[in-house]
Structure formats: structure tokens, C-alpha cells
């Protein structure tokens, strides 16, 4: 079996989710797989006694598959940890909207048996977006996002003013509530809610989506992911940079944010019959006819 060391990740907020983790962990153990359980503050749970317990970051040189049970938020945080280690990730959905967790808990044992025992799976590479904040010529913060880098107004609530350059060419000057720099994976997240395009994960592009721009001529822009994007904050205002909605950094006047494609891609492992458009039809109810 190819995947001998598997890490299970979940939020463990409910007894039901804990039971799913234990059920899957026990099944994998019966297959001869070493199960590593990243359980944060829940390691004392008696149900976890038969698994290796600790922190995902301590096992990155051992594990060869991560399985996330929960939602896209949990998967996003894990993705940023494992992307540089070429560890594939599998998402199991607890029943919410998630676009990246494509197996339901009700079918997880049957599907995972087919994938891990019978090798009926496919691998899909997803691009990530890297950002670094330059202040007075020095890097003061950096981050990597699977979904998006969002720069938006902070606590004060005023619009922010900024310039955007691409490959050293001036593109726009804008006043708005902010801007979303989204990967194809993130095109179905905040970007979609802000009016951005849905982009196939195989596309070699990023999207730049304004958030409530002052001028109606400011529209979403799709750019080649091989370029370098430069954001410059042009007015002193309360402004924040968010990485996948999970990490935050405060920007100040004249800060520059340099964005480009991360050198590594995240490997998703899907069931053999996975189809991106099928996922869109199901999640967005595109096949539902209006009466």
C-alpha cells in the first residue's frame, strides 16, 4: 500500500465528529496504516488512545497522506503547512458547502477503501498564491494562500486607496473597500461572493476582484499566474491583509505587497470519478430547474 503513514485532522468540536475520526482511524489501522492524529487540545480523549497523537508539524517528514474531516476552513489551514512537503491531501465533508472536501462522511469508508486499497484515485495539483509585505525596503510579513489574499479596510471603515502594477506595468488606481487576489481554487470562495469569475483549477491564472469599488468601471481582472503583482497602499487608512481569512497583518501608508505564484503546488487526492463540474452543479444547484 502506497500510503503507510496517514495523518487525520479535524476540529473535534462535537462528539459526532470525534466518532467519525475514530471510525476512520480504526479502519485505517486495520489496513496496516500508521495513523497520526493531530488533536490539538483534545489529546486526552480516551477514544484516541490507539493512535499516534501530537502535532502535524512534527510529522511532516513521516506522513505521506493527510485526511481532513470537516470543512474547507480546516483544509485551508492544513494546506499551508504541508504544501512544501509534497504531501497529498484528501477532504471529507461533514455536510456543509465545502468545495474542496468532496467525500461525505456517510460514504467515507467505502470510498477510501476503493482509493487506498484498490488504488482508484486521481491526483490534482492546485496553485497557491504567495504574498510578502515590503515596508521601507524590508520584508515585514509574508504568507501563502490556497484560496485568496484579501486586502481590505480595517476597523475605521473608510475606503482604501491603492495602485496595482503587474510585471512593472501600471494597471489601475482604485478606491474601494478592498481587493481580492484569488487562485482558481479560491474563485468559488470570497471572490465568487464579490462578483468574481469561477475558474477551473487547471487554469494558469489568478483573478483580481475589487470589493465595492467607487467607480463602476473597476471590474474583475484575470491575469496570467506567471506574472508578479504589486499592490501599493496610497493613503493612510486602517487597512488589513488577510491570508485565506485565517491570518491577518496590518498595513500602513506606502506599504507594498508583492504577489506571485508559490513555487510548490498542493496535491489533492480525489476519488476516481471526481469531476470538477459535477461538484459545481451539486454545490451551486446548477442542475435544479426553476419552476
**Residues assigned a catalytic role:** 72
Dig out the grid coordinates for 225 from the structure: 499566474
d(CA 205, CA 89): 22
Q: Which of 74, 77, 75, 69 is nearest to 104 (CA)?
A: 69
Within 10 Å of residue 56's Cβ, how many Cβ atoms? 20
Neighbours of 159 (CB within 10 A): 17
- Between the two ends of the chain, the Cα-to-Cα distance in Å is 50
Contacts of 186 (CB under 8 A, 6+ apart): 129, 145, 146, 147, 148, 180, 244
Is the distance from CB of 262 to CB of 191 less than 8 angstroms?
no
Spatial distance between the Cα atoms of 279 and 102, rounded to a whole number of angstroms: 8
Residue 165: its H or E element: strand 160-166
Got the DSSP string for 17-76?
Answer: HHHHHHHHHHHHHHTTPEEEEE-GGGTT-GGGTTSEEE-GGGSTTT-SEEEEEE-HHHHH
How far is the CA of 78 from the CAs of 38, 75, 98, 267, in angstroms?
Answer: 11, 5, 15, 12
Q: Which residue has the cell 499592490?
A: 231
- Within 13 Å and on the Cβ side, how many CA atoms surround 240? 14
Strands 160-166 and 65-70, sheet pairing? unpaired
Amino acid at each position: 500500500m502506497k500510503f503507510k503513514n496517514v495523518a487525520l485532522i479535524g476540529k473535534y468540536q462535537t462528539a459526532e465528529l470525534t466518532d467519525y475520526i475514530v471510525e476512520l482511524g480504526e479502519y485505517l489501522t486495520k489496513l496496516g496504516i500508521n495513523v497520526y492524529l493531530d488533536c490539538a487540545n483534545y489529546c486526552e480523549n480516551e477514544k484516541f488512545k490507539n493512535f499516534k497523537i501530537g502535532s502535524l508539524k512534527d510529522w511532516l517528514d513521516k506522513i505521506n497522506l493527510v485526511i481532513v474531516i470537516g470543512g474547507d476552513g480546516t483544509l485551508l489551514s492544513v494546506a499551508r503547512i504541508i504544501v512544501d512537503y509534497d504531501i497529498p491531501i484528501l477532504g471529507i465533508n461533514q455536510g456543509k458547502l465545502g468545495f474542496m472536501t468532496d467525500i461525505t462522511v456517510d460514504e467515507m469508508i467505502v470510498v477510501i477503501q476503493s482509493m487506498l486499497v484498490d488504488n482508484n484515485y486521481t491526483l490534482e495539483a492546485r496553485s497557491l498564491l504567495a504574498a510578502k509585505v515590503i515596508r521601507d525596503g524590508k520584508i515585514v510579513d509574508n504568507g501563502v494562500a490556497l484560496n485568496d489574499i484579501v486586502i481590505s479596510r480595517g476597523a475605521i471603515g473608510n475606503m482604501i486607496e491603492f495602485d496595482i502594477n503587474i510585471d512593472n506595468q501600471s494597471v489601475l488606481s482604485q478606491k474601494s473597500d478592498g481587493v481580492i487576489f484569488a487562485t482558481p481554487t479560491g474563485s468559488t470562495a470570497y471572490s465568487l461572493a464579490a462578483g468574481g469569475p469561477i475558474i477551473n483549477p487547471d487554469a494558469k491564472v489568478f483573478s483580481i476582484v475589487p470589493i465595492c469599488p467607487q467607480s463602476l468601471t473597476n471590474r474583475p481582472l484575470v491575469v496570467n499566474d506567471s506574472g508578479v503583482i504589486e499592490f501599493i497602499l496610497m493613503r493612510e487608512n486602517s487597512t488589513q491583509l488577510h491570508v485565506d481569512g485565517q491570518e491577518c497583518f496590518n498595513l500602513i501608508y506606502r506599504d507594498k505587497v508583492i504577489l506571485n505564484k508559490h513555487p510548490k503546488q498542493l496535491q489533492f487526492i480525489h476519488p476516481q470519478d471526481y469531476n470538477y463540474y459535477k461538484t459545481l452543479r451539486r454545490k451551486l444547484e446548477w442542475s435544479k430547474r426553476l419552476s
